[in-house]
Chain A
Amino acid sequence: MFRFSKTILVFALFSASTAAFAFDKYQGVGRPATPAEVKAWDIDVRPDFKGLPKGSGSVERGNEVFEEKCASCHGSFGESNEVFTPLAGGTTKDDIKTGNVKGLSSGELPQRTTFTKVATISTVFDYIQRAMPWTAPKSLKADEVYAILAYLLNLQEIVPADFTLSDKNIADVQKLLPNRNGMTTDHGMWPGAPAKKGGIGNGGKPDTANKVCMKNCKPEVQIGSTLPDYARTAHGELRDQNRSFGPVRGTQTLGPEAAKKAADAGTLDLATKSGCMACHGMKSKIVGPGYSEVVARYKDQTDAESRLIAKVKAGGQGVWGSIPMPPNGHLKDEDITTLVKWILSGSK
């Protein structure tokens, strides 16, 4: 009996391995993921809320968390256009009724915000949970994500100030999103099965139909737009962005002052590579203070250079607000000195 069942088992395994394709063909490659591993990484939330964690958060709590962890980039009301495009604004009560943001077609919108575009509330939850805050992604607890989202929904006047968002009522909020009906998949740019076969889109049919014409294709050339003067010089010295030999030269777009600017750009480059520019602006605050603000604060202090060098190395907190500056032990001493001197000299 024992022997018989073993044979059955072997037979069953053999059948499985010769199924439509070769499951377990690559012996010794890969191992099963543990439930804890899958749980740790599988954090995505779909439009049908599959993957949504349990939890809740109030507008009020969201206001606190947002002020502490989000406002430095997004502004206290999600309105800031300093670091990223605005999160909030641009929709009306009527949009909430229709589910189509009218400003998108009327031309009244100066700029599209997150809530003028997004049609699925799950998207915002998923993104905050996986990628925010900017410098510490995945550090928010589920309740904090609910709270931040509740606060944003309140800013957008989708939910009242005493609202608490939770896994229980998020589907109801979905029905109030101002641009929930604003997406179309009727296009030919989805590379999978078309909608009529259960997929997306029209099956690859393009929306333009130019033809190959070789002679006298039109009566005249109609110029729609030419390069504006400011754009000609906005990208620096074009001569220096081309080889100094060959059939063409880069066109000289700047005068002799270009060399000086290029030297400054070198230090700016160092600051960028060292990660400084992720948090500091030249003039204004991003997460930490802008460089001109630093200069203003330290201008009369004779030991400013040495103090700032120490600060860049070891990190600090409290001088400019509660968000700490991380230590920068990975930077070379000489680079830190160059950067601090550059900042104190007006970063020009």
Chain B
Amino acid sequence: MGDIVKQPGRLRPAPENFLSEEQVKAVGSGRRDFLRKSFLVAGAALAAPKLVRAAEGDPNILENPAWTTSLGLPVATNPYGMPSKFESQLLRRESPGLARVGGASVSFAPLQGLFGIITPSGLHFERHHQGWHDIDPSKHRLMVNGSDDSLLKKAKVYTLDELMRLPSVSRIHFIECGANTGLEWGNVAVPTVQYTHGMLSCSEFTGVPLKVLLEDCGVDYKKARYVLAEGADGSSMTRTIPMEMVESGEVFVAYGQNGEMLRPENGYPLRLVVPGVQGVSWVKWLRRIEVGDKPYATKDEAVHYIDLLPSGQHRQYSSIQEAKSVITTPSGGQTLLDKGFFNVSGLAWSGRGRIKQVDVSFDGGINWKTARIEGPVQNKALTRFNVDWVWDGSPAILQSRAMDETGFVQPTYGQLRKVRGTKSIYHNNAIQSWKVIESGEVSNVQVL
């Protein structure tokens, strides 16, 4: 249990930041009148008239702060703006012990502190297979060829100059690593939503539909039913993509992300966007597209990203990220400040289309309440939901359950394990549970 709070329904006035660590602890130990005293003590440390004033109200109101009584900084002080210095805690982080080499690891997005549906580009989760590079766009090329000459009229090479002349699309899509929540297949393993669900991000991507390029090369759709996408990094990551998705127009080669160019860690200057499909197929630093008549069984679809079943068989070419949701506030590793009203907020998404409904339970799944969905709800994009909750200070288990437009409903752990066992690693879309205890501390539990 955390040191901050051990009493239910504790009251904490706004000016928390002038309490010392010890004072905060004292509050936690149950001396509830301490706050009032500390208010006075804090005031007493200042000049006497201020003590009087402190008793009259909040010094943050009674005393105009420095930013209200002085000149601020000029424009373009920061030519590329950065978050406030008070936001330094929300960073992408690694999960210790998950990978032993940073070049083949994961950093998780801090979902516990994000709002809405767009992931700030600098907090977008990372997964690299052989480290990342900041590629010189003037030297980057995209080649389109065929596994044999009969599948394409001519193999072509495109520069960024050329790709950016072509008709473009801008679309908001989620990207989720197939292994997101993979640490939790067998049992609870990690404390916060950053580590349970943080291999998830959502951006507006801008680029050229792949079908435009394939048709520019004279693809023969009758014969070429698969696409191999290949990266320019050391791993030259490859994945097989079905031509049906390309023909539908939804697969595109993207250079833009949230209004600017892609970040290097996210594939600058070119990556593939394969909506609804696990992140590994969104090949970064995209250098080559090959059209073929058969799937490729690449390393990341024949050794990794295959789902082990209880029978001992592995599911191969499992690609779609099925409907899933998670409550991000409050979530594991957080402590509620007080009993009373809370806006419970979370994210829902489906690789099969739009989110239709999200329900939230406060009693571990016995009773449910339909959440408000923040629109417009987009295809294969994160969708934000909110629901009112008045916490009475007693234990609770919070869950969210997403349903997508196909009518598919996110499964419970019990349902998922019944068909897929506990060793799959990939595609864990089970309902997440957060347990709230009397102290307000929220922790990760699994409800079957």
Please indicate the chain A residues that have their CB under 8 angstroms from the CB of B95 in the complex.
235
Q: Which residues of B are interface residues toward A (Cβ below 8 A)?
A: 2-4, 16-17, 86-87, 89-91, 93, 95-97, 100-104, 110, 112-113, 129-131, 143-145, 147-148, 153-158, 162-163, 165-166, 187-192, 194-195, 212-213, 215-218, 225-226, 228, 230, 234-236, 238, 241-245, 276-277, 287-288, 290, 292, 294-299, 302-303, 306-320, 322, 329-330, 332-337, 342-343, 351-352, 357, 359, 363-370, 397, 401, 403, 408-416, 419-420, 427, 435, 441-448
Q: How close is B446's CB to chain A, nearest CB, in angstroms?
A: 4
Q: Please state if A198 and B225 are interface contacts (CB–CB under 8 Å).
A: yes
Q: Interface 1/0s, chain A 66-105, versus B by CB < 8 A?
A: 0000000000000000111000000000000000111011
Please indicate the chain B residues that have their CB under 8 angstroms from the CB of A37 in the complex.
143, 157
Q: How close is A323's CB to chain B, nearest CB, in angstroms?
A: 15
Closest to A131 in B: B235
Q: How far is the CA of A131 from the CA of B131 in the complex (A)?
A: 12
Q: Interface 1/0s, chain A 202-239, versus B by CB < 8 A?
A: 00101111111111111011111111100110111011
- Chain A interface residue count, Cβ-Cβ cutoff 8 angstroms: 112
Of A187, A218, A248, which contacts B366 at CB under 8 A?
A: A218
Q: Please state if A33 and B294 are interface contacts (CB–CB under 8 Å).
A: no
Q: Please state if A248 and B329 are interface contacts (CB–CB under 8 Å).
A: yes
Q: Please state if B332 and A227 are interface contacts (CB–CB under 8 Å).
A: yes
Closest to A248 in B: B334
Of B16, B93, B365, which contacts A241 at CB under 8 A?
A: B93
17 contacts between A and B (CB under 8 A): A29-B165, A29-B166, A31-B156, A44-B298, A50-B148, A83-B101, A105-B312, A183-B315, A184-B315, A187-B315, A193-B225, A199-B242, A210-B409, A224-B187, A225-B446, A235-B96, A242-B113
Q: Interface 1/0s, chain A 38-53, versus B by CB < 8 A?
A: 1001101011101100
Closest to B99 in A: A84
Please indicate the chain B residues that have their CB under 8 angstroms from the CB of A235 in the complex.
93, 95-96, 190-192, 195, 333
Please indicate the chain B residues that have their CB under 8 angstroms from the CB of A173 in the complex.
none
Known: A44-B298, A235-B95. A192 touches B243 (CB 8 A): yes
Q: Which residues of A are interface residues toward B (Cβ below 8 A)?
A: 21-26, 28-33, 37-38, 41-42, 44, 46-48, 50-51, 82-84, 100-102, 104-106, 112, 114, 117-120, 122-124, 126-127, 130-131, 134, 137-138, 182-185, 187-193, 198-201, 204, 206-218, 220-228, 231-232, 234-236, 238-253, 272, 275, 277-278, 281, 286
Q: How far is the CA of A187 from the CA of B319 in the complex (A)?
A: 10
Q: Please state if B216 and A190 are interface contacts (CB–CB under 8 Å).
A: no
Q: How far is the CA of A147 from the CA of B435 in the complex (A)?
A: 54
Q: Please state if A224 and B314 are interface contacts (CB–CB under 8 Å).
A: no
Please indicate the chain A residues that have their CB under 8 angstroms from the CB of B104 in the complex.
84
Known: A23-B218, A44-B228, A131-B235. A252 touches B318 (CB 8 A): no
